[in-house]
Amino acid sequence: MLQQTQVNTVIPYFQRFCGKFPDIQTLAASDLQDVLKLWEGLGYYARARNFHKAAKAVVDEHRGNVPDDRASFLVLPGVGDYIAAAVLSIAFNKPLAVVDGNVKRVFARLFEMDAPVNQSSSYKLFKATASDLLDVDDPGTFNQAVMELGALICKPAKPDCGICPLSKWCLTLKNQRVDVFPKKNKKAPVPHHLMAVGVIFKGDKVLIVRRPEDKMLGGLWEFPGGRVLAKESAESACTRIIAEKVNLKVAIESKLTRIRHAYTHFKITADIFICTSVSGRVKRNGPTDHQWVSLNKLEQYPFPKSNHKFISKLMKDRM
């Protein structure tokens, strides 16, 4: 389901995904790395891992049939109230109301609801409102209609009230307070971290490592790197982190580039260094796997977007 991701971004991914995994059995039997490769660039990689695990659970425990009761569906990996309500109402006509960001915005404006939409305790209130209004005979259409209304008409900025089918009941429109709703709590400032990353060459191959599956960006590959400490130079951080994570002593040859990247909860500025392996054998402390690969083989591995921001320069400079 589309949480925090726009439809237009997802369409080409969806088409490639369905082309490669046309049914749940094929997905369940596939390698996680192939799933992550097709998901690459979309972010929220836990969803890919959970979707893969859920497909296995459906095949192994439900004979390939997606369970249509809420209790069994909620047990599947990655499923919470939103996904359960969305899938079960749309696919199985179950009377469950969906609450996402679009739905909260529509109801907050329609009824002048003061509950901040970004506060987790508000969820119950919006859920109760949506459940009261739900068309129990056609819950899937109702849920999709409210979500679409929020996405296309009752937009965050400049809602198209003139063409809104709810305008005659809308309290904020009546009271000329549309721009005051929805209410939100102020967000804490986003932390910013300095990072150092090493592209370590041994001959014409470079070292890549795999992130633990239970961590952020889990299962993806990356060039070894980490946070620069206070009063530490990026170069020192790079050699220190490489020694800590993969047990190699490296010499820094040059700086490849600097990249910036924004994740959901923090931002990074990362200096990327070209290094050569001086001594030591790879012993992993953190990563779950490693490979020495030729540059022309890098495209076979799924990498986070932040690594793609310098891989193209690396290829251009070194191939």
Contacting residues toward ligand SF4, per CB under 6 A:
106, 109-110, 153-154, 159, 161, 164, 166-167, 170, 172-173, 178
Grouping H, G, I as helix, E, B as strand and the rest as coil, residue 255 is: strand
Choose between 129 and 307: whose C-beta lies nearer to ligand SF4: 129
CB 287 within 8 A of CB 209: yes
Choose between 109 and 210: whose C-beta lies nearer to ligand SF4: 109
CB 139 within 8 A of CB 94: yes
How is residue 84 written in tokens?
């359960």
Residue 138 beta carbon to ligand SF4: minimum distance, rounded to whole angstroms = 20
**Residue 69 and residue 261: Cα distance in Å, rounded?**
41
| Residue 68 CB-half CA count within 13 A | 8
Return the number of other C-beta atoms located less than 10 Å from residue 195's C-beta: 20
Secondary structure letter of residue 5 according to DSSP: S
Determine the length of the chain: 319
| CB burial readout 6-22, b (16+ within 10 A) else e | eeeeeeeeeeebeeebe
Choose between 159 and 224: whose C-beta lies nearer to ligand SF4: 159
Query: Quick one: angle between helices 139-148 and 81-92, nearest 10?
Result: 120
Choose between 82 and 111: whose C-beta lies nearer to ligand SF4: 111
- Write the CB contacts of 127 (distance below 8 Å, at least 6 apart in sequence): 81, 97, 99
Choose between 156 and 280: whose C-beta lies nearer to ligand SF4: 156
Return the number of other C-beta atoms located less than 10 Å from residue 120's C-beta: 7
Choose between 38 and 166: whose C-beta lies nearer to ligand SF4: 166
Choose between 46 and 161: whose C-beta lies nearer to ligand SF4: 161
How is residue 142 written in tokens?
């109702």
Choose between 113 and 206: whose C-beta lies nearer to ligand SF4: 113
Grouping H, G, I as helix, E, B as strand and the rest as coil, residue 18 is: helix
CB 141 within 8 A of CB 148: no
